[in-house]
Amino acid sequence: MIDPSLVKQLREKTNAGMMDCKRALMEANGDAAKAESILRTKGIANADKKSSRATEEGIVASYIHLQGKVGVLIEVNCETDFVAKNEIFREFVKDITLQIAAAHPVVVTRSQVDSALVASERTVYEAQVKGKPEAIIEKIVTGKLDKFYSSICLMEQPFIKNPDLTIKDYVASKIAELGENIVIRRFVRYGVGENLDVH
């Protein structure tokens, strides 16, 4: 028998449905961490299935932070006007604007990063590990590039409200919760007096 308080805790942590939480806990023999991992895997699998569906509804939202020193404008798309007006969806969009204000991403996904910038970062990382055995150079450089991507790509950043989740995981959890594909289409972040270069 699964303790109802465990189910409640898991639901609060993951935003998954009550029955999904109960099933995951049963599958994990009551291990909450394992159940969370099961739910995350299923959520991402379900999100992947929905990711090809068209998203022609949604909202454009704005956020002004720190007495007008930082501003964010974002477009987030979903499948229906019904979800676009939903409080959960709107709260999610607000969380994403807070993320952008606080964590300074430059693009939504790594496919949008300028290839010249990636090449120049790679050159710097290769120079840093020069002289190390060939077999580990590529591994180190790839690791450093992944870290670079996670600093500038919104979808790869740790979620400021729960650093155990990436924004990609957070989006997947909302797709599972709302039953619709959700796409963060574009954003602009303004900071008073900030350098306009990527770095």
Q: How crowded is residue 56: how many other Cβ atoms within 10 Å of its Cβ?
A: 9
- Whether residue 53 has pLDDT greater than 80: no
H or E segment to which residue 187 belongs: strand 183-191
| Contacts of residue 71, Cβ cutoff 8 Å, sequence gap at least 6 | 62, 63, 64, 65, 101, 189, 190
For the chain, give the mean pLDDT. 86
The full set of domain ranges for the chain reads: 4-50, 57-109+153-191, 114-150
Task: Report which of residues 31 and 94 the model is more confident about.
Answer: 94
Q: Is the pTM of this model over 0.85?
A: no
Judge whether residue 27 has pLDDT over 80: yes
Cα dihedral sign for 169, 166, 35, 27? positive
State the DSSP H helix or E strand holding residue 158, giving kind and residue range, or none if neither: strand 158-159
The phi and psi torsions of 61 (rounded to 5 degrees) equal -125, 155
Hey, do 4-50 and 57-109+153-191 end up sharing a CATH topology, with the first three levels equal? no
Inter-residue contact 198 to 117 (CB < 8 Å): yes
Average pLDDT over residues 26-33: 86
Give yes or no for residue 190 having a pLDDT over 80: yes
Q: What CATH topology corresponds to 57-109+153-191?
A: Tetrahydropterin Synthase; Chain A (3.30.479)
Q: Is 101 left (phi over 0), alpha (psi -120 to 50) or beta?
A: alpha
Query: How far is the C-alpha of 75 from the C-alpha of 56, rounded, in Å?
Result: 11
15-25 tens-digit pLDDT = 666 777 888 88
Measure the CA–CA gap between 177 and 174, rounded to whole angstroms: 5
The CA-atom distances, in angstroms, between 19 and each of 26, 36, 40 are 10, 13, 15
User: Could you read off the pLDDT of 88-136 as tens digits, one per residue?
Assistant: 999 999 999 999 999 999 999 999 999 999 999 999 998 888 888 888 8
Q: 172 with 41: CB under 8 angstroms? A: no
pLDDT at 162: 93
The DSSP symbol for 114 reads -
Residues paired with 76 in a beta bridge: 59, 184
Architecture of domain 4-50: Orthogonal Bundle (1.10)
Q: How confident is the model at residue 199 (pLDDT cuts 50, 70, 90)?
A: very low
